[in-house]
Each structure stands twice: as C-alpha cells, then as structure tokens.
Amino acid sequence: MWWLWIAGPIAVGLIFVLTGKVDERVSKEIEAWRGHLAERRSKLQKKAKAAGEGKKKKAKDMRPKPVRALPGNFSEVIEEVGEGRVAGQFELAPKVAYARFVLGDVEGSSDLQTVLVCLAEPGPTFNARPLPLLDETSRVPNTGIEFRKDPEFFSTYLVEADASQAKAVGKWLSRDLRTLLREHGEVWLCVRGRAMALTVYGTIREEKIAALMELAEVFVAEHGAEDGPSLFGETDRMSSKEKASAEDDDEA
C-alpha cells in the first residue's frame, strides 16, 4: 500500500488546484457583474443630473461595496437558502438589499447567487420555487397553495406555507410578482418576517446575477424597507411608498 503515500498528496494537490480555478472563475464573474452594474449606475446618475433631478455628488466607485457581515435578521433565510463557502457579499442598497454568492461544498450543496432584502413590513412565512419537470412538457403535481385566479403561475410554481396564511401569501405575492417569477422560471423565493431571499441555484454567472437583479428590483420597489430604493441608483421608477400612495389615489 506504499502507493497511498503518493496518491494522497497528489489527490489533495489536485483538489487544491481545481478549487483555485473555480474560485478564480467565480471571482471573474462577480467582478464582471459589479463592473457592468457600476456602468449602469453611472449612466443613470449622469442622466438624472442632465435632467436637473440628481443631487450633486462627488465621483465615487459605483460598484456594489463588499461587506464582511450581513444584518442579523437574515440568519433564518440564509439557513433556508443554503450554506457553503462564501465567495462574496455586497451591499446593493444601504440597510435594504445585499447580494451573496456561495460555493457548494463536498456534501453536495449547490453553488448559488442570492439577493437578500429587508422588508418594510413583516411578510407571511412562505417559500416559492419552480415545480420540478417530469419531462419536457409536464411538471410534478402541485401540492402547495392554490392560485385559482392565476392558473399559469400555479402550473409552474410551488408555494409552500401554512394553510392559515394562504390568503396573506396571495395578497403579498401580487400578480406582477408572480408573473416575474413565472417568466424567469429559476428563482426561489423565501420570506421570513422582515427578511426575503431571492435565489438562483447553479453555477455563478454574470448574466444570471444581472437577471436576478432585474427581478429583485421589482420586489424591492414593492416590499423593500426604506421606501424601496432602486438597486440601480437614481431611476424614475416609483418606490414602494410612492406606489402605495398612487394606488390609494386610484381607489379614491
């Protein structure tokens, strides 16, 4: 068994090399996303200034800022989403939204990209995820909360919650949000109190992160804390507070 003395170190070295390559690839994907987001924020800021709407600010790095620790109220949704080796955590909107990237471990957990959001008001406790496919044309039976007025969503997404919260979940998860989830098709949603997680599992890619950001932007506008600020900087979209006010005016 003398060969074990050689095979062991070789195997460890191979794992180290492969892990290093994965980390390097993931870092490049994350940095590409940060760079493109910075460009978008900069363009929006210049557009706002040209229109006389933006505030005068000193030039600064527009990329999402790295953070060592996340607010404690995210602990439950982070555990629900899945743990692993953290590849990066970034602030998207101060005190409101953060991006987190996790590499799967040897126990079989998946890589993931997730946007964590502080909510303006406590939401109902529930999970929503795409129904697994049985084949190219059909999915497994839906045993979750039924959305009778939205059969398209019910045929593609499983929403799990206590039966007593079904009505609250249906109200919280508006038709616009359900449509976004259905059209994206890969996002898992978890809501616990004032914390929410929007997650895409699988290989971390710049385009996946960007698409998740677009979806998260709408969720933040509708339910985010601090009046639901934009994740892209200065935009002309309504905040959650402004949207609620507009809806009240329409009903008046």
Residues paired with 86 in a beta bridge: 102
Q: Tell me: the pLDDT tens digits for 201-252?
A: 999 999 999 999 999 999 999 999 999 999 998 765 555 555 555 554 444 3
CA 218, distance to chain mean position in Å, is 11
pLDDT tens string 133-158: 888 788 999 999 999 999 999 999 99
Please state, rounded to an integer, the average pLDDT across all residues of the chain.
86
Residue 11's φ and ψ, nearest 5 degrees, are: -65, -45
- Write the burial class of residue 59 (CB in 10 Å: 0-12 exposed, 13-18 middle, 19+ buried): exposed
- Helical residues (DSSP H) of the chain, grouped into ranges: 4-50, 75-81, 151-154, 166-172, 175-184, 206-223, 240-251
Interatomic CA distance for residues 236 and 124, integer angstroms:
29
| Cα separation values, 6 from 3, 12, 13, 18, 157, Å | 5, 10, 11, 19, 50
pLDDT at position 105: 77
Q: What is the pLDDT averaged over residues 68-96?
A: 96
142 by Cβ neighbours in 10 Å (0-12 / 13-18 / 19+) ranks as middle
Task: Indicate whether this model's pTM tops 0.85.
Answer: no
Average pLDDT over residues 170-198: 98
Structure tokens at 140: 């497994």
Write out the two tokens for 5: 């003395």
State the SS3 of 103-125.
ECCCCCCCCEEEEEEEEEEEEEE
Distances (CA, A) of 159 to 30, 104, 129, 146: 30, 25, 7, 8
Tens-digit pLDDT profile for residues 29-43? 999 999 999 999 999
Q: What is the dihedral of CA 207, 211, 103, 90, to 10 degrees?
A: 100
- pLDDT of the residue at 44: 87
* C-alpha neighbours within 13 Å on the C-beta side of residue 166: 9
Please list, in sequence order, all residues whose beta carbon lies within 8 angstroms of the beta carbon of residue 41, skipping any fewer than 6 positions away: 62, 232, 233
Identify the three-state secondary structure at position 137: coil
